[in-house]
């Protein structure tokens, strides 16, 4: 039974039979005992965080995460969980008696937070100890450095208000990326690892759609859910930048299906709006694999991207 421990600001949940069965399923795909154990513990940690966030009313999509994919499990120590519309949170397993949390190098970026999950000796119960908003070094942190889980929920609930603020694309060129925006590989590799995992650059593929011999300097994406519970309709919104002078940047925006879907949802619409909110470009999906809109903008200009499906829509505001 779920227990919320107010004195220590922790959250304890049972690890169900189905959670353990999933962990067994994942670890059975790895011949190395060390890797199998790592995957098993990571899966239990993600299961616990997923349960907690569901109790808190936060929507997640595990199948859109790297930790769901066996190919990613093989080459990475990863326990990420996709929070719809916001980004990935890393779920770090902690064994009994451990006072230090190991942070794998491959998860030190593209995360909106890190949750420490202590598993008991029988692996039948998990306690969420706290979270970190970011890590400064890809090494380890002590349990005493953890912040309250309540702060995590506040952070997640505040994000929609923050999203009303414009995203400064010129800062992306200086490697300052807004919260929730991830690399394209993080969004798209889980669904196509068997085909794309030979490290053929997604940036090169998308850049080729913009102009011959062009190079995408920066490309980031975010996951959007255009469905309603219990039916999710997840798509990836990708924005790429190609500077052509000190004052002008070529920009592309693209929507792609996720979760092994081949086509975008029918009647999905994407629009580029000017600073007055007038649509200057738009397209609608009809048996469409992806939609890409290309345009140029000068430094200081404002625009927004609106993605709509039925009565559900998202609008992202940008400043170049």
pLDDT (tens digit, 9 = 90+) per residue, 27-55?
999 999 999 999 999 999 999 999 999 88
Looking at every residue in the chain, the average pLDDT score rounds to: 81
Q: Give the C-alpha separation, 202 to 168, whole Å.
A: 23
Strand order in the sheet with 113-119: 3-5, 10-14, 125-132, 113-119, 87-94, 80-83, 60-61
114 within 8 A of 126, measured Cβ to Cβ: no
- Reported as a single tens digit per residue, the pLDDT across 52-104 is 998 888 888 898 788 998 888 999 999 999 887 778 899 999 999 898 888 88
Q: Do β-strands 291-298 and 248-257 pair in parallel, antiparallel, or remain unpaired?
A: antiparallel
Residue 174 sits at the vertex; the CA angle it makes with 172 and 179, to the nearest 5 degrees, is 40
Tracing tokens 């890590």 back to the chain, one arrives at 135
Q: Which two tokens stand for residue 108?
A: 């030190």
* pLDDT above 50 (res 212): no
Instruction: With H, G, I as helix, E, B as strand and everything else as coil, classify residue 11.
Output: strand
Residue 80 sits at the vertex; the CA angle it makes with 229 and 121, to the nearest 5 degrees, is 105
- Reported as a single tens digit per residue, the pLDDT across 141-198 is 888 888 888 888 887 776 444 455 788 998 898 888 877 788 887 777 655 443 333 3
Predicted pLDDT at 201: 40
> Of 26-35, 61-70, 200-209, 274-283, which has the strongest mean pLDDT?
26-35
Predicted pLDDT at 189: 62
| Percent of the chain at pLDDT exceeding 90 | 33
Q: What is the mean pLDDT of residues 236-256?
A: 90
- For residue 239, give Cα distances in angstroms to 67, 110, 133, 251: 24, 15, 24, 7
Residue 287, by phi and psi: left (phi above 0), alpha (psi -120 to 50) or beta?
A: left
Predicted pLDDT at 21: 95
Tell me the residue length of the chain: 320
Predicted pLDDT at 202: 37
Q: Residue 31 contacts by C-beta under 8 Å, 6 or more apart in sequence?
A: none
Taking the CA atoms of the chain, what radius of gyration do you get in angstroms?
20
Q: Specify the higher pLDDT residue, 250 or 216.
A: 250
Domain residue extents for the chain: 3-160, 163-319
- For residue 188, give Cα distances in angstroms to 63, 73, 192, 238, 259: 11, 15, 7, 10, 8
Predicted pLDDT at 136: 65
Tracing tokens 């999203």 back to the chain, one arrives at 163
Predicted pLDDT at 43: 97
Predicted pLDDT at 138: 64
């Amino acid at each position: 039974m779920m227990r919320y421990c107010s004195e220590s600001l922790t959250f304890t949940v049972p690890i169900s039979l189905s959670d353990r069965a999933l962990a067994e399923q994942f670890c059975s795909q790895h011949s190395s005992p060390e890797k199998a154990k790592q995957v098993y513990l990571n899966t239990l940690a993600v299961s616990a965080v997923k349960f907690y966030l569901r109790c808190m009313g936060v929507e997640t999509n595990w199948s859109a995460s790297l930790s769901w994919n066996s190919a990613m499990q093989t080459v990475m120590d990863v326990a990420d969980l996709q929070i719809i519309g916001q980004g990935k949170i890393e779920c770090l397993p902690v064994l009994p008696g451990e006072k230090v949390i190991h942070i794998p190098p491959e998860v030190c970026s593209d995360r909106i937070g890190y949750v420490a999950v202590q598993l008991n000796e029988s692996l039948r119960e998990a306690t969420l100890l706290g979270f970190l908003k970011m890590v400064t070094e890809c090494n380890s942190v002590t349990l005493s450095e953890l912040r309250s889980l309540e702060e995590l929920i506040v952070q997640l609930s505040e994000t929609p208000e923050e999203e009303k603020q414009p995203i400064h694309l010129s800062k992306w060129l200086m490697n300052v990326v807004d919260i929730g925006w991830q690399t394209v590989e993080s969004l798209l590799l889980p669904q196509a690892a068997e085909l794309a995992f030979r490290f053929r650059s997604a940036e090169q593929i998308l850049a080729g759609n913009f102009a011959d011999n062009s190079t995408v300097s920066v490309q980031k994406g975010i996951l959007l859910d255009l469905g309603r519970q219990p039916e999710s309709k997840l798509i990836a919104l990708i924005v790429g930048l190609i500077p052509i002078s000190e004052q002008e940047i070529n920009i592309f925006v693209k929507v792609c299906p996720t979760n092994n879907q081949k086509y975008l949802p029918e009647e999905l619409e994407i629009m580029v709006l000017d600073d007055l909110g007038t649509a200057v470009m738009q397209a609608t999906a009809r048996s469409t694999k992806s939609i890409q809109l290309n345009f140029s903008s000068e430094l200081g200009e404002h625009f927004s991207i609106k993605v709509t499906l039925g009565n559900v829509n998202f609008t992202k505001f940008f400043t170049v």
